[in-house]
Amino acid sequence: DYALYYAKQNAKSEPVFFSHEHERLIFANSALEQALRHADLEKEMRVEFQPVLDLGCGHTKGLEALARWSCPTLGRIRPDLFIKAAENIGMIGRLTEVLFRKAVNEARHWPGELTLSFNLSATSLTSEAPVMRLLSIADQLGFPTHRLIFEITESAVMNDFESAMEVLNLIRSAGAHVAIDDFGTGFSSLAYVHRLPIDILKIDRSFVRDLHANERSKNVLRSMLSLCENLNIACIVEGVETQEQFDLVCDLGGQLIQGYYYSKPLSSGDAHMVLQIEFDTMNRPPLRTVVNQ
């Protein structure tokens, strides 16, 4: 099932194998990039919102915007794939602005003081301009920066450490917040985390997955939670799917939880409805009891 090619880089060249699967992926990739080039971003892109639960008060703390693309020719494409494609073809700046504008346009109608988390790709950290444009969009739309959280991955930071530091400082000097996403999946996490200007660590869901079966993973999660506490950084545990995982994370001292157990990503309409109901019940005065004497 394998096609065999010889890569002739030098005299003692090694045979290189490309599976048909690999060829198919390369082809699919360029089809994806092609479709994205011609996409009507305003029309085809949507944003869903996944709530984060605050165990301290038992309510939603904020929501993370997650990009969705229904391509008319290719169907639904996973966001990590089309984000990468957008980076490859130099469209990530424009795509990010479209997504951010849509996200903020929803978030400004949410009740209360809920935060909006927005994922930044690696290229958004290579200079200050992309984030400056996002901050001015938030400003135009009247969304307060202190309710904004920008999520970045460790690898995006390590990609260009100096520039990333400048962008992170820019975010925080504007009053917005920084979260490290998928924490623990990159390299040398613990070595640099105390040097980064960050507010929140999001512990990757791989640490939650085998929590029930494994004493060691419990210890790892416990250590990460206490690391955050010692550094005075908030910590969100991602990917909590079951009651069992939820209970374990609570026992270990987790304060902020995100995952299918609390809520899947919601359409903007559903998010608005759920948040309004939660807000109304939270603030409703106690029913007066009628005592007949």
> CB-wise, 126 or 230, nearer to ligand C2E?
126
Q: How far is the CB of 45 from ligand C2E (least distance, A)?
A: 9
At 284, list the tokens: 């409703």
- Does residue 182 interact with Mg ion by CB under 5 A? yes
Residues 6+ apart with CB under 8 A from 47: 65, 66, 67, 68, 99, 102, 103, 106, 268
Tell me which stretch binds ligand C2E (CB under 6 A): 12-20, 78-86, 104-112, 217-225. Answer: 78-86
- Write out the H or E segment, with its range, that includes residue 5: strand 2-6
Among 66, 104, 233, 235, binds ligand C2E (CB under 6 A): 66
Site for Mg ion in 100-119 (CB under 5 A): 119
* Per-residue binder mask for ligand C2E (CB under 6 A), 7-46, x = binder: ----------------------------------------
Q: Check binding of 83 to ligand C2E (CB under 6 A).
A: yes
Phi-psi region of 111 (alpha: psi -120 to 50; beta: other; left: phi over 0): beta
Q: Residue 112 Cβ, how far from ligand C2E at the closest point, in Å?
A: 22
All residues at 6 or more sequence positions from 278 whose CB lies less than 8 Å from its CB, including other chains: 59, 60
Options 35-43, 183-191, 233-241, 272-280: segment touching ligand C2E (CB under 6 A): 233-241
**What would the x/- binding string for ligand C2E be over residues 175 to 194, using CB under 6 A?**
------xx------------
> Is 80 a binder of ligand C2E (CB under 6 A)?
yes
Residue 241 contacts ligand C2E per CB under 6 A: yes
Q: Residue of minimal CB distance from ligand C2E?
A: 259
What distance in Å separates the CA atoms of residue 159 and residue 123, rounded to the nearest whole number?
A: 9
- Asked if residue 211 lies in contact with residue 176, where contact means CB atoms within 8 angstroms, the answer is no
| Least distance (Å) between residue 117 CB and ligand C2E | 8
Query: What CA–CA distance (Å, rounded) separates 184 from 274?
Result: 32
CB of 103 to ligand C2E, least distance (A): 8
Q: Which of 98, 133, 260, 274 binds ligand C2E (CB under 6 A)?
A: 260
User: Whole-angstrom Cα distance, residue 29 to residue 13?
Assistant: 27
In angstroms, rounded to a whole number, what is the distance separating the alpha carbons of residues 256 and 115? Answer: 13
Of 285, 227, 206, 237, the residue nearest 54 (C-alpha): 237
Q: How many residues are given for the chain?
A: 293
| Cβ–Cβ under 8 Å, residues 80 and 112 | no
With CB under 5 to 8 Å by kind, the binding choice for 241 among ligand C2E, Mg ion, none is ligand C2E
Structure tokens at 248: 């374990």
* Residue 151 engages Mg ion in binding (rule: CB under 5 A): yes
- Strands 45-54 and 256-257, how do they pair? antiparallel
Interacting residues toward ligand C2E by CB under 6 A: 50, 65-67, 78-80, 83, 99, 119-121, 151, 181-182, 205, 239-241, 259-260, 265
Interacting residues toward Mg ion by CB under 5 A: 119, 151, 181-182, 238
